Chain A
Amino acid sequence: LYGARQGYRPSDLARLIYDDSLTPAEVNRKWKGEASNPKDDAPTDEQLQEEEDFFSKPKTFAHENEFADTDGPIYNDVELGQKWSNPDNLDALRQRFTMTSLRHDSAEND
């Protein structure tokens, strides 16, 4: 049913954002359409293993502490560096800047 779901659909977000059974991280992933493969629904080996360990291991709140309580985005500078040192990506972004055509032409003439 949810096989080939597209991400970023406003109607999905309205449904997901107020669904308290999902953590914000899960909402984020589902809405982007990243969790659309069926194996996410079936318990993985790891989850089964975890269930077996249920009584021996206290559940940690590790995921809670992972989420840095900041306003700013958490950037991966290595990925960003690769993305924006690529001239094609820079050229694609030029349309978001004013004077693009002028600048771009002059760059080509050089």
Chain B
Amino acid sequence: MAEPAQKLLRFKSHRNLAYRLVLATLTGRAIHISQIRPSSPTEPGLAPHEISLLRLLEAITNGSQMAISYTGTTLIYKPGLITGGVSGIGANGGVVKHELPATCTRGISYFLLPLCLLAPFSKAPINVLFTGAGVITAATQTGDMSADSVRTAVLPLYARFGISNNIELRILRRSSAGANGKGGLGEVQLLFPHQVRLPKTVHILNPGNVKKIRGIAYCTGVSASNNARMIDTARGILNSMAGDVYIFSDVSSAPSVPSQEQPDAKSRRKSGIGFGLSLVAESSTGSLYSSDVASPSSGGVTPEDIGRQCVYRLLESVSLGGCASLEAAPTMLILMAMGSEDVGRLQLSGEVVGSETVIELARDLRVLGASGWGFRQATSGPETDIVVSVVGKGVGNVGRKIT
């Protein structure tokens, strides 16, 4: 394009890196991020999961340029077009195979959430297969949600924006976090074949009441009784709150790799052993609240404790109010900001709007040229609820402008 070279937009620190990269890609602005963990004595600069995310961006875009400084503390990213699964660029037969390194400490949702945000604006359908020694499908100690929660609590939100056709998240092989919280051996495939010109403008102002609760208890490489114990504890509390509670149980064996100590064919090492619970509460108006707890890789926590903690977190999330939980708020706000040049409204809990993630997101959006958000008191719901008005940027999908 014959546009004059744009000035690099400058950001600091590693915070919100994933969303900054997503926003830069969507708006087509080049960004410069400095001071990425500059004072860490052992691991300065970009972490393995962040490098992996950059590689993923490279695979699903065409013409992206990135430069990382020697120490990894500075990054320049010039985004290209989001092409998705166009053969020959990053994909093979429409499928982009993305391998995560064994040093990855973040759950797969760290990659899925940004990827889902880019997918509606892609030129071709997105079909990414996450594989390798770093795929953790369970929730992690680093605070990432499980792949189950992404499927049940985040992907349904896209329907609100008119993006709903055949979106699928397949958990092909489950894995909990491996030793020291590093790596798993799971396999996850995201199919996102619904591309749009612009997401619909939404007005979501009624949180509604929670009408049903669904959950998935998963365990990998441990006895299925762990699932039963988590479900029993969780239902013990939830049954008195909601009438419609159903928690699924998913038992799978732990993925294994050939042992490194004895590299003969027979000995294999199990990896990613653990269990966890994902709960989602759905309100009468379609608001979703989710919570996730998984056993730490060091062990020593009973399934009862996991079940109880997960329920308490769910209740806390419901009690905060608003139409989106903190996990889902960035996704919704970004889709609203990328919508048509119209005012969309979303009611959020005061705790969610005032959270550091959302504040950071508001600032990043402004730096990238979006207009400021408006805030007003909500007329329904708890007193601290705030209605956020977001004016869309009308950037939309460059690949689909001419049809």
Q: Which residues of A contact B (CB under 8 A)?
A: 7-8, 10-11, 13-14, 17-18, 20, 24-25, 27-28, 31-32, 58, 60-62, 64-65, 67-75, 77, 80-81, 83-85, 90, 93-100, 102-103, 107
Query: In the complex the two chains form, what is the Cα distance from A94 to B210 in whole Å?
Result: 9
B374 sits at the interface (CB 8 A): yes
Most B C-beta atoms less than 10 A away, residue of A62, A67, A81: A67
Chain B residues with Cβ below 8 Å from A18 are: 362-363, 366, 372
Q: How far is the CB of A72 from chain B (nearest CB, A)?
A: 5
Number of inter-chain CB pairs below 8 Å = 146
B: number of interface residues (CB 8 Å): 61
Q: Which of B352-378 contact A (CB under 8 A)?
A: 353-357, 359-360, 362-363, 366, 372-377
B326 sits at the interface (CB 8 A): yes
Query: In the complex the two chains form, what is the Cα distance from A30 to B330 in whole Å?
Result: 21
Q: How far is the CB of B267 from chain A (nearest CB, A)?
A: 36
Using known A-B contacts A8-B384, A18-B362, A96-B209, determine if residue A25 contacts B241 with beta carbons closer than 8 Å: no
Q: How far is the CB of A65 from chain B (nearest CB, A)?
A: 7
Contact between chains at A71 and B327 (CB < 8 Å): yes
Contact between chains at A81 and B312 (CB < 8 Å): yes
Chain A residues with Cβ below 8 Å from B143 are: 68, 70-72, 74
B64 sits at the interface (CB 8 A): no
Contact between chains at B350 and A24 (CB < 8 Å): no
Q: Which of B16, B40, B210, B308 contacts A96 (CB 8 A)?
A: B210
Q: Which of B200-251 contact A (CB under 8 A)?
A: 209-211, 237, 240-243
> Which residue of A is nearest B109, CB measured?
A71
Contact between chains at B240 and A107 (CB < 8 Å): yes
Chain A residues with Cβ below 8 Å from B237 are: 84
Could you list some 26 contacts between A and B, CB below 8 A? A7-B350, A8-B386, A11-B375, A13-B353, A13-B386, A14-B372, A17-B359, A18-B362, A24-B363, A27-B359, A61-B35, A64-B13, A64-B37, A67-B15, A68-B143, A71-B144, A71-B326, A72-B143, A72-B145, A72-B327, A80-B309, A80-B312, A81-B312, A93-B318, A95-B209, A96-B209
